[in-house]
Amino acid sequence: MTNIKKYLSLVKFAHTIFAMPFALIGFFLGIRKPSFYGNLNSRIGWEYDITNFVAWKSILIKFALVIGCMIFARSAAMAFNRWLDKNFDAKNPRTAVREIPAGIIKANSALWFVIICCLLFIACTYFINRICFYLSPVALFVVLFYSYTKRFTALCHLVLGVGLSLAPIGAYLAVTGEFAVLPVLFSFTVLFWVSGFDIIYALQDEEFDKANQLHSIPAAIGKAKALRVSELLHTLAAACVAFAGVYGHFGTWYWCGVAVFMGLLLYQHSLVKPTDLSKVNMAFFTANGIASVVFAIFVILDLFLS
C-alpha cells in the first residue's frame, strides 16, 4: 500500500461525500444568492457577473480553495480522531484493523499529518477572504474538539454534526463574505442529519463503549431508544430542508431533491433494527452518500434552471 493510499484510508476519504455536497450547495447559493428585498417572489440575484471572464476566474479560484478547505479540515479532524483514539481502537475488534493500531501508520506520523492539514486549511482561508481567515481557528477547534467529546458526553454525535454543519455556511461566506439565513438552514439540516446517522453507526459499539467508560447515545439509553432519537433528528433534518425550500422560494427541481433526501432517510431506518445491525454500513454510507449527492445536484439545478 502506497503512503497516499494509507493516509486516504486513515481519514476515510470516501466519507467526504457526506459534507462536500452541502459545501457545494453553500458555494453555488452564494454565486446565485436569493434576494429577499422588495418582492419576495423575486428569488434570484447574481453575486457575480457571469458573462465576465474575470468573474469566472475568481469563481473558479474560490471554488478550488473551498474544496481545499473541505479536504484539509476533514482530513485533519479524522486523522486527529484516529490518533487520539488509537488505544481504544486497538482494544475494539471492529477497529483494531485501523491504520494506527495495526501499525500501518505510526502515531507520530498521523499527528504530523494533522498539523500539516490544519496549516493548509488556514492557508486556503487566507486566500479566500478576511472573514474566513479570522474564523478558521474556530472551525478547526470545533472539528478537532469532537474527538474528545466521547470521553465525557453522550451528545458527542451532535458535536460531530456541528462540525460538518460548518460546510454550507463556510462555503457561502467564501463567496459572499457575509452570513445569511438560507445557508444557516442548510447547516441545521447537516447538523440533524449527521447526528442522526452517527447514532446509527454508534450502535455497533454500544457494549464496547459501556465497558470502556466511553459515552454515546446507544451506550446511554440502549439501541432501541437510540434509534428513536435518530429518527427524531432525521425528522428535524427533513423539516429544515422543507422550511429552506419555502423560505428560499425554490422550485420543482429542489422539491424533487427533497423527496429523494427524505425517502433515503426513511430507507436507512428501515434497514437497521435494534436486534439486527447487519445493514448498518449500508444505512450509514450508501444511503447517506446517495442522499447528500442527489440532494445537492437537485438544489444546484434549481438555482440555475428555475
Q: How many residues does the chain have?
A: 306
The alpha carbon dihedral of 202, 208, 209, 214 has a sign of negative
Residue 34 reports pLDDT greater than 60: no
Distance CA 195, CA 181 (A): 21
Distance CA 112, CA 76 (A): 10
Residue 19 reports pLDDT greater than 70: yes
Residue 48 reports pLDDT greater than 60: no
Residue 306 reports pLDDT greater than 80: no
Distance CA 82, CA 119 (A): 19
Look at residues 85, 104, 75 and name the one whose alpha carbon lies nearest to residue 12. 75
What pLDDT score does 104 carry?
93
Distance CA 130, CA 128 (A): 7
Contacts (Cβ under 8 Å, ≥6 apart) of 213: none
Map grid coordinates 465525557 to a residue.
Answer: 152
Residue 165 reports pLDDT greater than 80: yes
> pTM here?
0.91
Map grid coordinates 428555475 to a residue.
Answer: 306
Overall average pLDDT of the 169-188 stretch: 94
In the chain, the largest separation of any two C-alpha atoms, in whole Å, equals 61
What pLDDT score does 53 carry?
53
Residue 47 reports pLDDT greater than 90: no
Count the helices and strands in the chain (H runs, E runs): 14, 0
Identify the residue with better confidence: 11 or 44. Answer: 11
Distance CA 124, CA 120 (A): 6
Distance CA 261, CA 87 (A): 37
Distance CA 170, CA 136 (A): 9
Distance CA 233, CA 23 (A): 21
CATH topology of domain 3-305: Tetracycline Repressor; domain 2 (1.10.357)
Where are the domains positioned within the chain?
A: 3-305
Model pLDDT for residues 77-93, shown as the tens digit of each residue: 999 999 999 999 999 99
Cell of 162: 456541528
Model pLDDT for residues 211-246, shown as the tens digit of each residue: 999 999 999 999 999 999 999 999 999 999 999 999
3-state helix, strand, coil in the chain (%, to 5): 75, 0, 25
